[in-house]
């Protein structure tokens, strides 16, 4: 229906009810928008990662970061965050003296954001963020490792840590514990809880 008067047109629009075709259009439009956000922001990093190993981004909160630092502070050697997100744990670790501090992250947008945060903090040359698959990174020179990942990937991660980490290394796991290792320290409550594990050598970490 054509209207010359805009007020009339608005009233007409307000009085119209959405029929099934319009509802379907709205649903298809929203679905497409959600897919575009997912494909553009999340998918780029995960194309080659099996579905069961894909862990979505959820940044550690301030208390979780503080718990990680309380378990790593003062330790010598390289620190890495596996799945470093926007880099907050790596930056905090560097600021509390862990050197070098390195993040491995698949999502290129998050790697860019982490570098931006480091640059704004004046640490662009001191911390490192690599766009790399954590499953393909060698951990043989890592003495301090932090992980905030999902329970579904932790059994596989345990194997990788056991095989690659040097004796004396420490692993801190946030939100979820490693499934079979025995922690040497636990701090925090609920989802803020962080577990620390020390690597002694083959088979010595398994809890009975
Ligand atoms: C729960 S977030 C934790 C982010 C950060 N460590 C923190 O605590 O703020 C997990 C991160 O791991 C990344 N990630 C998942 N699988 C990965 C993989 N195979 N290689 C590298 N990064 C990965 C995700 O993109 C996401 O940013």
173 CA from centroid of ligand 1 (Å)? 13
105 CA from centroid of ligand 1 (Å)? 6
The answer to whether residue 205 scores a pLDDT higher than 70 is: no
- The Cα–Cα gap between 119 and 72 comes to 24
The pLDDT of residue 49: 76
**pLDDT tens for each residue of 9-36:** 777 767 766 688 888 888 888 877 776 6
Q: Which residues line ligand 1 (CB under 6 A)?
A: 45, 49, 55, 57-60, 81, 83-85, 88-89, 104-107, 110, 133-135, 148-149
Residue 83 Cα: closest atom of ligand 1 = 12
Report DSSP state, residue 182: P
pLDDT category of residue 45 using cuts at 50, 70 and 90: low
Mutation pick for ligand 1 pocket among 38, 41, 55, 58 (CB with most ligand atoms within 8 Å) = 55
* CA distances to 18, 23, 39, 203 from 33, in Å: 20, 15, 10, 49
- pTM of the predicted protein model: 0.82
55 CA from centroid of ligand 1 (Å)? 6
Phi, psi at 57, each rounded to 5°: -80, 125
Residue 42 Cα: closest atom of ligand 1 = 25
The answer to whether residue 203 scores a pLDDT higher than 80 is: no
Of 28-37, 39-48, 92-101, the one with minimum mean pLDDT is 39-48
- The Cα–Cα gap between 192 and 68 comes to 10
The pLDDT of residue 40: 61
Mutation pick for ligand 1 pocket among 83, 92, 149, 188 (CB with most ligand atoms within 8 Å) = 83
Q: Extract the tokens encoding 50.
A: 């099996």
- The Cα–Cα gap between 94 and 99 comes to 6
Mean pLDDT confidence for 139-145 = 98
The pLDDT of residue 37: 65
């Amino acid at each position: 229906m054509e209207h010359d008067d805009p007020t009339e047109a608005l009233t007409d629009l307000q009085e119209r009810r959405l029929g099934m075709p319009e509802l379907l259009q709205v649903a298809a439009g929203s679905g497409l928008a959600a897919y575009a956000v997912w494909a553009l922001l999340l998918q780029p990093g995960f194309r080659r990662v099996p579905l069961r190993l894909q862990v979505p981004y959820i940044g550690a909160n301030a208390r979780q970061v503080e718990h990680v630092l309380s378990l790593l502070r003062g330790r010598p050697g390289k620190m890495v965050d596996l799945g470093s997100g926007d880099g907050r744990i790596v930056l905090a670790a560097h600021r509390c003296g862990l050197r070098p501090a390195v993040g491995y992250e698949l999502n290129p947008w998050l790697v860019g954001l982490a570098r931006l945060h480091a640059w704004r903090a004046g640490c662009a040359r001191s911390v490192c963020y690599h766009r790399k698959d954590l499953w393909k990174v060698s951990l043989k020179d890592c003495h301090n490792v932090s992980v905030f990942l999902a329970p579904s990937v932790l059994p596989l991660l345990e194997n990788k840590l056991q095989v690659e980490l040097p004796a004396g290394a420490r692993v801190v796991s946030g939100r979820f514990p490693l499934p079979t290792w025995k922690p040497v320290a636990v701090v925090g409550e609920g989802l803020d809880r962080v577990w620390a594990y020390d690597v002694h050598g083959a088979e010595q970490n398994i809890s009975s």
